[in-house]
Amino acid sequence: MVPPIVEREVSGRKGSLQLFLENCLKEKDRQRKKIEPPDAKSFADALEEIRVFENLVYDVCLDADDIWIHTETWAVWRVDFSEAFEPSPELLPGCEIERCSKKLYQGLGQIKDETLASAVTPYLNKAERKAFLQRKKLILEKIQKLIEEKGVEAVLF
């Protein structure tokens, strides 16, 4: 869902390198050109995954400029997290979570405080890490509530 990104030093300056996505169409352009995905359900599922992830990292919800679609496989990618990780303990306003993959739901449940701290301490401060963990908890609670209301099959794919 997110292209691989690695930290590197180039010409004495630290920065990041990201895989360049080729043969892609921005969601904004797909909408403008009225191009329908060949598998509407899979495409909708991918957007739901992105919505959950955007809530987790607290970044703009489904910005059609930041969602890229591979034109052959219809794999969906989310790029540009330059506004992510605000230390807000809330979920994104107007970015409702309705469904989630089983894999992502289970993965969220496995994120432990100490594991997160060791992985992201150079990049996120204590307030950002704390807010991330609070949002993770809210997401898990939201999905659990949806499961109780609608049933597992309606919520987890």
Cα separation of the two ends of the chain = 16
Q: What pLDDT, in 10s, does the model give residues 97-121? A: 999 999 999 999 999 988 999 999 9
Pairing of strands 67-70, 5-10: unpaired
Q: What pLDDT, in 10s, does the model give residues 118-141? A: 999 989 999 999 999 999 999 999
As a whole number, mean pLDDT of residues 49-70 equals 96
Half-sphere exposure of 77 (CA within 13 A, CB side): 20
Identify the pLDDT of residue 82: 87
pTM exceeding 0.85 = yes
Name the burial class of residue 130, with classes exposed (0-12), middle (13-18) and buried (19+) by CB atoms within 10 angstroms of its CB.
middle
Is residue 43's pLDDT more than 90? yes
As a whole number, mean pLDDT of residues 43-72 equals 96
How high does pLDDT run on average in the chain? Answer: 95
Show me where the domains of the chain are located. 20-155
Label residue 16 by pLDDT band (50, 70, 90): confident
Strand partners, 16: 7
Q: 78: part of which helix (H) or strand (E)? A: strand 76-78
